[in-house]
Structure 1
Amino acid sequence: MPADPAPNAFYAQSGGVTAVINASAAGVINTAALFPEKIGQVYAGQNGILGALREELIDISRESEASIQGLMTTPSGAFGSCRYKLKGIDENRAEYERLIEVFKAHNIRYFFYNGGGDSADTCQKVSEIGERLGFPLQAIHVPKTIDNDLPFTDNCPGFGSVAKYVALSTREAAFDIASMCATSTKVFILEVMGRHAGWIAGAAGLASRSEAEAPHIILFPEIAFEEERFLAKVKETVEKFGFCVIVASEGTQTADGQLLSGSTSRDAFGHVQLGGLAPKLANIIKQAHGYKYHWAVADYLQRAARHIASQTDLEQAYSLGEAAVNLAMAGKNALMPTIVRVSDEPYEWKVGTAPLDEVANQEKMMPRSFFSDDGYGITEEARRYFQPLIMGEAYPNYQDGLPHYVTLDRHLAPKKLPPDNRW
């Protein structure tokens, strides 16, 4: 009798994308190919977990080798990402029954979910449902988040490239402001991402090598915003250096937890939509001091900036995709591969693991020892942490003066189930 076919694997991307998330995808795909006796096909969910619910499975075997290799230097989510939070199995059993139905139809026994804290929660739930519904699955979370706030890992793939972009942009903008401040703009504000944790804003501190260099003020979610003290610092900086550059985390808040940039709308994960902090700060400064200002919002630019990605970040993103498959091949379930820092100088790291039930829905804040005494800058300890993560330039290939990025064909595998329009 012919042997049963090897079970298949499902990979998907979730949440906000990064400059190197596709490198993790390449790590999963290339490593899975090394185990033909254990993994048959690798399917990718079109638009994250929704691809499984809708039975929209991208047949990766139909993509060219050049396209898979091109994932290493292409930003954003090549397979499509989503913000979709699975409810608890007892709240919406139909979702889980649908997942198992799709996985059974396509002989999928391995689940690799590439995302942040909310995605770890999804992966943890999937790791449990197979056993409860009589269809064993091995679920491994592949970490990524520019926010750098996942616990148990020294840093998160995606963060190093954002850190590099923000530090670089801060330094370049500061040169512009410094050259014009005698007769023009005296204050520049760069708003960066970071809902509860100030890792991205903190990385901007690498742009400064002395008190006179920007950023002169960094605003963190972890440090309560005090308007009078802030305005005094701005005035002192302008009078001393002729200009003031501020990097502000979108999650900046007052001591009572009031977000300066909050709104009433929420995303699919239930998070308050943030934005608008930079113009608000600019108006506060204008009213108090009358300084001419400019502001910018890094927004998607910071997380899509593959043209200046960190080599360290790229290597770590690929390695954790690779590690996820190796964990599954070793029979592991409900784990997340992590980055373990061995030393700062020389920078060395290795792969570790963390249990998903301890990772899901948890956030890692910057430690107090990373903030300067006045709360407006970073310490040398923080510099030692950030510096290795932005090292190396992983340039993509250029064509006609622009980076050459790949677009996948995304051929869908034939559906095997009746249509289901609930998702």
Structure 2
Amino acid sequence: MAAGTLFYAQSGGVTAVINATAAAVIRAARARRVPVLAGRNGILGALREELIDTSALSAAELKALAHTPGGAFGSCRYKLKSLQDDRAQYERLLEVFRAHDVRWFLYNGGNDSADTALKIAQLAEESGYPLVCVGVPKTVDNDLPLTDTCPGFGSAAKYTAVSVREAALDVAAMADTSTKVFVYEAMGRHAGWLAAAAGLAGQGPDAAPHLILFPERPFEEAPFFARVREVVERVGYCVVVASEGIRTPDGRFVADAGGGKDAFGHTQLGGVASHLAARVKDALGYKVHWTLPDYLQRSARHLASETDWRQATAVGEAAVEYALKGMKGVMPIIRRTGDRPYRWTVRPAPLAEIANRERKMPPEFIREDGYGITDAARRYLEPLIRGEAYPPYGRDGLPKYLDARLPLVEKRLGPD
């Protein structure tokens, strides 16, 4: 095996299990006596030459890392442009990698991160630098193509389904004299996977959630109001789950937070639940409550899915294996091999077929009336939230999470 260092970086929004992947990467590399540097705040760590020395993690800390939410090394929303438009940045990355003898680069993120890893691989090949780039899947949106599911989604889906079921019981208890409509906002810019997961909270026409709003279907107020009224009159209350990315028939986001665009060019969303709640109150006169779980959906490690935790660990181990075998420009993906019982395996897939591509909800997963999930969606989703992967708890009644203060390696270059 060639000598060298492995560089690992986290990208974009973090998940409840992304550190399980990080711990698996470090553990697998240590087993092969390969040192691992991590980027402080993702790819920015490489650009700024702020590289974390993971060798400082003890065995106990590494174990604790695997059940800690958030991004232990820091993440960032930072998108490199094309090689032509941003070549100096790519050259800087290679300069830092050369200085620290980085021969393997693992980028743990979503679609945009896969694109960045692919571009760095192309420049390294062009420059004659022996660098193996491997993407590692992560996203609560579950929108990466090729893979059956994305590590991070199962836990966010479990949190969503559990939260909606519990909140619905609360609403039902108070509906006679108080709240008639409850609106829950789920993450999902272009794909309604998390909103769909809420459908696992109940079965049957009278069970919450009664209405689910997907980005894949245009949102129209009049039919929506009519359905809300019908449910309230029949059941006594109505629980609505709305994806943050629902759009009007002309393509406008229903809830544009007005915060401009992020580094990936995405419109900042947020507030669809409050918007719908106000509109329902004005149009129908019901008392309405709403919630925006936002980061809670992706940080709820206390309610992580065991399936998700195992898959997050497996892709980290596979990424190291692929990298050290010299498998350039690939990503470990989950392949479902059985439903009953649920079985899966990890396989490599080309980054070129994943980068900048989004997988939306299949039409057959959305109920014909557009307001719920089908049996096919339920069969797909249920295995992903099964099992509990609880963190250890302390005597104070709180989870014991890792807050390691790891040192940076000494810089060998000047500032960018």
Taking structure 1 as the reference length, the TM-score comes to 0.96
- Alignment pair present for 1:335 and 2:330: yes
Cα deviation, residue 283, structure 1: 1.2
Taking structure 2 as the reference length, the TM-score comes to 0.98
Cα deviation, residue 263, structure 1: 4.2
Give the direction of change, closer, same or farther, for the CA distance of 1:125–1:5 in structure 2 (3 Å limit).
closer
**Among residues 234, 238, 246, which one is paired with 2:240 in the alignment?**
246
Residues 11 and 109 in structure 2, CA contact (< 8 A), matched pair in contact too: yes
Residues 67 and 407 in structure 1, CA contact (< 8 A), matched pair in contact too: no
Match in the other structure for 1:98: 92
For residues 188-228 of structure 1, give each alpha carbon's deviation from its aligned partner in whole angstroms, at most 9, with x where no partner exists: 00001000000000000000122211000000000111111
Matches of 1:78 and 1:90, distance apart in 2:
33
SS of 1:66's equivalent in the other structure is helix
Give the direction of change, closer, same or farther, for the CA distance of 1:413–1:332 in structure 2 (3 Å limit).
same
Cα deviation, residue 67, structure 1: 1.3
Match in the other structure for 1:398: 393
**Paired residues for 1:192-211 under 5 Å:** 192-211=186-205
Q: Which consecutive unaligned segments of at least 5 residues does structure 2 have?
A: none
Matches of 1:23 and 1:127, distance apart in 2:
25
**Among residues 93, 105, 128, which one is paired with 1:134 in the alignment?**
128
SS of 2:178's equivalent in the other structure is coil
**Paired residues for 1:158-307 under 5 Å:** 158-264=152-258, 265-307=260-302
Matches of 1:53 and 1:302, distance apart in 2:
30
**Among residues 14, 35, 47, which one is paired with 1:17 in the alignment?**
14
**Paired residues for 1:34-73 under 5 Å:** 34-36=31-33, 39=34, 41-73=35-67
Q: Which amino acid in structure 2 is aligned with residue 288 of structure 1?
A: A
Cα RMSD for the two superposed structures: 1.1
**Among residues 376, 384, 397, which one is paired with 1:381 in the alignment?**
376
Number of aligned residues: 414
Residues 191 and 250 in structure 1, CA contact (< 8 A), matched pair in contact too: yes
For residues 29-64 of structure 1, give each alpha carbon's deviation from its aligned partner in whole angstroms, at most 9, with x where no partner exists: 11111222xx3x100000000000000000000122
Residues 26 and 72 in structure 1, CA contact (< 8 A), matched pair in contact too: yes
Residues 192 and 297 in structure 1, CA contact (< 8 A), matched pair in contact too: yes
Q: Which amino acid in structure 1 is aligned with residue 296 of structure 2?
A: L
Match in the other structure for 1:412: 408
Matches of 1:84 and 1:410, distance apart in 2:
23
Q: Which amino acid in structure 1 is aligned with residue 13 of structure 2?
A: G
Matches of 2:244 and 2:391, distance apart in 1:
29
Q: Which consecutive unaligned segments of at least 5 residues does structure 1 have?
A: none
SS of 1:140's equivalent in the other structure is strand
Residues 63 and 409 in structure 1, CA contact (< 8 A), matched pair in contact too: no
Q: Which amino acid in structure 2 is aligned with residue 366 of structure 1?
A: M
SS of 2:336's equivalent in the other structure is strand
For residues 106-156 of structure 1, give each alpha carbon's deviation from its aligned partner in whole angstroms, at most 9, with x where no partner exists: 000100000011111111111111122231210000000000000000000
Residues 257 and 271 in structure 2, CA contact (< 8 A), matched pair in contact too: no
Q: Which amino acid in structure 2 is aligned with residue 284 of structure 1?
A: R
SS of 1:135's equivalent in the other structure is coil
Q: Which amino acid in structure 2 is aligned with residue 108 of structure 1?
A: V
- Alignment pair present for 1:6 and 2:3: yes
SS of 2:105's equivalent in the other structure is strand
Q: Which amino acid in structure 1 is aligned with residue 301 of structure 2?
A: R
- Alignment pair present for 1:344 and 2:339: yes
Write out the 4+ residue segments of structure 1 that deviate beyond 2 Å after TM superposition. none
SS of 2:183's equivalent in the other structure is strand
SS of 1:398's equivalent in the other structure is coil
Q: Which amino acid in structure 2 is aligned with residue 405 of structure 1?
A: Y
**Among residues 304, 321, 325, which one is paired with 2:316 in the alignment?**
321
Cα deviation, residue 410, structure 1: 2.0
Cα deviation, residue 262, structure 1: 1.7
Residues 27 and 322 in structure 1, CA contact (< 8 A), matched pair in contact too: yes
Q: Which amino acid in structure 2 is aligned with residue 42 of structure 1?
A: V
Identity of aligned residues (%): 59
Matches of 1:284 and 1:353, distance apart in 2:
47
Q: Which moved more, 1:92-101 or 1:395-404?
A: 92-101
Q: Which amino acid in structure 2 is aligned with residue 408 of structure 1?
A: A
